Structure formats: structure tokens, C-alpha cells
Structure 1
């Protein structure tokens, strides 16, 4: 065989080998170009100061940051830039920025003291929507102690703390303008954990025209409960909740009767009437063994009491709802033992809630 013929046969063999490898996907890591996250445009009172970037190892979840005059500065925790609000988004598998498909959105509010980019949010969002569940998840910054309300007496050094205005009046229309959402009540839900559970129910009751479903994961729903009231007051004084700390009456005003009007008015448990026609779900444990992590056990026991009061008001108002009281967690999820803020419990809550959303919201 001539040298030229041998060379041609070798090149042909290499070509076949390369084609087979390509078909089998064995060169994907070397040849695939990563999809870029969406690019956001300023609007609705928000200025984008950090464009979306994928979170670790993901091409579904990204974070970006905005500024707003509604909360121009806040008590920042470690790794937060005062005044910059990080927002985390998880897109459905197969989301196409140029396509015609539109998706429902779940807004999920973090607890105290926490951040939207806490890692657990990404896990909950991606795991609960794996396998093609057509749902966008959005977690906005609520600060370590924002409490998802417009503060009554914010300290001068911080300025306005209008968290409710920021989230409902700015973040929601901003997301609708920049992502392929179903921008209607039947395409939108709100949920939250602990402080975020309070926020979810407070927002749903304040603006029922915005949401088709509300969910609370161990939410502190009754501000008339003195232990829950004490938790809010304590959050104002904990440096771990953000610096600077704030006066006890900064958020809801004086907690002492008869000056506690705002506390009473913004307590979700007693104001469920506006939830008529909305899907409602609550999840709570009982704290389990009090000798095992007593702080988290007592915390869950307190929020359970606030959920029971809310349930009673829902029943009295004739509002259909889902109430999952999983006790010590042994039958709810592996690794869940009924304590407050347990990842295993919260993941199970989210998985169940997303199932309700897919049955109750409009979606592709």
C-alpha cells in the first residue's frame, strides 16, 4: 500500500471515530458552549447593579443584584453589601429566553436571619422542579430582619425600610418584564419559611389580586402570640441579624397595648378573609424531642401554635386550605425530626407545595 493510500485510510478512520464520539456525546465537555443567563433591564424603580450569573455548577439558578429607593440601605449581614439586594432565580429545565412559552412564578421569602443566596434555596428550587416541572422560582432579599413589611419607625441612619413596596410594587413587575412569566394572579404564588412565612401570608392578604396560591413553611403567623412577638423584638437587637441593630419599635411600632395597633393589624392569623378563592397551604412540625436542640424545638413549637390559630380562623371563614402538621417529622421526610429550619423538613415542604402549585396554577 502506498504511503498516500495509508494516510487517507488513517484520516478516514479518525473521521469515523470522531463522528462516533460526537454522536455518543463523549466530546460534549470540550465542545459545548455554556448558555448565558438572561440579561436584565432596569425598570419599575429597580437599578441592576449586578447582571445575572449562574450559581455554582448550575445552568438553571442564577443571582443578580439591584438597588431601590424603597430600601436604599439596610442592616447588612456578613457577605451583604448594604443597599444592594441579591435576588436568586431558578428557571425551569428547557427555559428558552427567545421562545413563546410562559411560566408561572413562585416567590419564596427566606427566614430570619438568612439570605436568598443561602444554598438551601437553590437545592429546594432545583430539586422540587426537576424532571421538567414548568415553574420559575424567585427568592428576593428580605434582610436578616426586614420582616416583609413597611417599617413604622425606621432609624434615620437607614432611611425608609419599605420592604413591602419593594417586593410587591417593584420586584414582581420587574421579573414579569424580564422573564417569560404568566403575569397574572393564576400564574403567581408566594411562599416563605419562618419570618418568610409571615411575609408570604401578609403579602397575600394585603394584595390578594396578585397571588393564586400562598404557602407557609413553619411561618410565624400570629403577632398576637407573645412568644412570636418576642421573637420579632429579639431580632431587632441581634447583631447576627444585621448591622446596625435597630430600636424595638422600628418595625411594627410599640408592642405594648394600647399602642400595638400595627402589630394587630398586620397579624396574618386574624386577617384571613381576603384569602377566599386563593390556594392556601401551611406546614409545621411540633419540635420533636425538646432535649434534642431545645432552641430549634421550642421555636418550632411556637410557630406551630401560630399556625393552629391561623387554621382555626381559616375554618371559621370557610376557606379551604391544606394544613400539614408533621409532628416530629418521622413520617414526613428522612432526616426531619420536627425542628425549626431543618433542611430535610423544608425540602419536603417545598416538594409537596410545588405539587399543589402544579395542580392549582396556570402553566404550560
Structure 2
């Protein structure tokens, strides 16, 4: 049996050219130049909605599905930067559907995916999750905005003077979403817009969906920390403010949600997704969690996932009590969920399986597939 002490203490082309009838293989340099010449240009973005484009979109690789771009915003003029980041410069990664044509007439639904702590949007794992879950012609755009190592997807209560305002919610919901709608061929409606996230991002996805239900028709959490009343989860947030690996400078413990102890913890309680599920009524709702698996194998990640699962169980119970349909996938030690998933926190195999399942539910429920009540809501009745 895991003790409270244990939970709190454990909280880091080449292309093979076949020679035919005397055709010889090109030198590697020539192959690279040839491949570069075949690349089509990614979309070109225009400044709007308070966002200034510093670097135009550029493809991540020759597959021409995923690109990154860089922007600035006055809502988060600076932030605690991790290694490789420039404070104030916000990288956003976008994966387009196969066959996306910026000059065509087809428009696409959008999924916004929020990264965890301490992480960033433009990771190889995120690219794999997005591209693999939409392979085979799935008509879905995926957008991953910067949330900083410790942004926690909220407008901070007491941001440090040296950083300026940390209005992450305003940045994402009031600026990034309309910016993407203005620059890509999206279906700019609630029923064609989803939000998901992992860990800190799962918290953010539920927070944003509850705060602005008019924006999202679907919400998904992958091992999200959904209950800020849970002391282990509260410690994780406070701990993130003090970790240099989450970005420098570090920030005071009360910077994000205010003082974390009663009776001064009003904001913590008000922004806890688990206790405010009513505004999710009518959305497609899905949660995924493992149980941490064996404590003998990567104890910190096992404990973190165990705490996340506790917060998901509270959220599930509150959804059920409110009569809100939802999908709850508790895959335990991961042995029946995905090869290589052992129920730990932030495991690539688990996250890829989560994303693939969620995208399947999402695509089944889009208005273009069901003109009346989305099928996703009916499927989400399983718990």
C-alpha cells in the first residue's frame, strides 16, 4: 500500500535508388538537394489577434505534414524558459491532414493539444502522436501551443515583476484559436473543435473546456492532474514553481494560483476541474489513466501516475453524479492497453494509445459524421 509520504516524496532519405538499365545511385549530397527541391511551401501566416509572427512556418521534415512557427504575445511577454527556449518567443507546432491543400475548398476540424510539465510543444513524441493518430487520411488539424515548463494553463494570480503578466489562458483561447482559424482552413465552430492534453496539459484541457465551453465540443485528458484539492497534486504544482529544470527564473509558490493553504486557497479551489464538471455537459468527454504499475520500476513515474489516477477517479465520480456522459479508460498497468505501456506517467506507448483512441472517438462524433446528437456523446456513456 502506497503511503502519503511515498506519494509526496517521489515527486525528472536516404532513398535506396535501384539501378535499372545503367541508372546509378545519386550521391548523398545530391539526394538531399533533390529532396529539398521537392518540398512544397508550408502555409504563410499573417499577424492577427494580438500575435506577431517572428518566424514563418517551416516543415519539421520532408513528410510535409508537421511544421513549427514562432510568435510573440503581450499576454505572456516573457516566461520562465527551459534550455533551448527564448523567453517571450512562443513556438507552436501544427500537424496538417494528409493531402491538406491551403488553396482548396475543404475545411477541417481542429484539435488543440496541451503539453505537460516540464515539456514543450515541438517534441518528436508529440509529432509522432499527432501524425500516427491521423494517418490514413484522418481529416484533422492538430495544434500544440507553447505552455512553458510551468504555465499551468491559467492567468497567473501573482506573476513575478521580471516576467510580467502570465496570461496563458488569454493567450491560448483569445489569441491562438482565432489566429489559427484566420490562417488555416479550419471549421471555426465549437462542434468542430477539440482540446486535449497530457499531465499538466490534461489539467489545462479540462480547465479551458470548463472555463470556455462555448469554444469546445470535445475534451480529453491523458493522465491529467484534474483535482487541485488533492494534496499530492497541489504539491506537484507548488514543486514545479521551484524546479530550475521547469524554467528559469523560478517563481514564488503563490505565483500561479495564489497561496496554496486554507483559508487563502480560494483560487485553487475555484480552478480545480474535478469539482466544476457541470459546464462539460453536452461535450464529448474522455479521460485516460494508468495506475503506475510496479513501484519497483521507475518509482517517481509510478507515484506521479498514481496521484493522477486519484484525481481522475474524483472527476469520474463527479461526472457520473451529475449524469454527464463520458469515457473513462483506466488501463491499470498498461498490459492490455499498448505494447510497451506499463502504466507509468508520461510513457510514449501509453500516450500514443491514448491519442489514437481519443481521435477515434473525436472523429466518430464530428457533425459531418452525425448531423444530430454527436455519436461521441453516446459512446462516452461507457465508464
TM above 0.5, yes or no, is: yes
Structure 1 position 178 matched with structure 2 position 177: no
Residues 46-84 of structure 1: per-residue CA shift (max 9 Å, x gap): 000010000134300000011000000000001101100
Offset of residue 309 of structure 1: 0.1
Q: Counterparts of 1:276-291 in structure 2 under 5 Å?
A: 276-291=281-296
- Alignment equivalent of 2:246, drawn from 230, 241, 247: 241
User: In the alignment, which residue of structure 1 is the partner of 2:14?
Assistant: none
Contact 2:241–2:251 (8 Å) recurs in 1 = yes
Residues 147-173 of structure 1: per-residue CA shift (max 9 Å, x gap): 000000000000000000000000000
SS of structure 2 residue aligned to 1:72 = coil
RMSD: 1.6
In the superposition, the TM-score normalised over structure 2's length comes to 0.87
Offset of residue 360 of structure 1: 1.2
User: In the alignment, which residue of structure 1 is the partner of 2:5?
Assistant: none
User: In the alignment, which residue of structure 2 is the partner of 1:197?
Assistant: 202
Q: Counterparts of 1:147-166 in structure 2 under 5 Å?
A: 147-166=152-171
User: In the alignment, which residue of structure 1 is the partner of 2:376?
Assistant: none
Offset of residue 363 of structure 1: 4.8
Structure 1 position 188 matched with structure 2 position 193: yes
Contact 1:188–1:361 (8 Å) recurs in 2 = no
SS of structure 2 residue aligned to 1:70 = coil
Rounded to whole Å, the distance in 1 between the matches of 2:125 and 2:83 is 17
Rounded to whole Å, the distance in 1 between the matches of 2:216 and 2:157 is 25
Structure 1 position 169 matched with structure 2 position 149: no
- Alignment equivalent of 1:107, drawn from 112, 121, 144: 112
Structure 1 position 64 matched with structure 2 position 69: yes
User: In the alignment, which residue of structure 1 is the partner of 2:304?
Assistant: 299
Aligned length: 340
Structure 1 position 262 matched with structure 2 position 263: no
User: In the alignment, which residue of structure 1 is the partner of 2:342?
Assistant: 337
User: In the alignment, which residue of structure 2 is the partner of 1:3?
Assistant: none
Offset of residue 33 of structure 1: 2.5
Larger radius of gyration: 1
Q: Counterparts of 1:5-154 in structure 2 under 5 Å?
A: 30=34, 33-154=38-159
Q: 1:202 to 1:337 in 2, by over 3 A?
A: same
- Any stretches of 5+ residues in structure 2 without a counterpart? 1-20, 22-30, 370-383
Contact 2:39–2:62 (8 Å) recurs in 1 = no
User: In the alignment, which residue of structure 2 is the partner of 1:222?
Assistant: 227
SS of structure 1 residue aligned to 2:307 = helix
Contact 1:104–1:362 (8 Å) recurs in 2 = no
User: In the alignment, which residue of structure 2 is the partner of 1:8?
Assistant: none
User: In the alignment, which residue of structure 2 is the partner of 1:309?
Assistant: 314
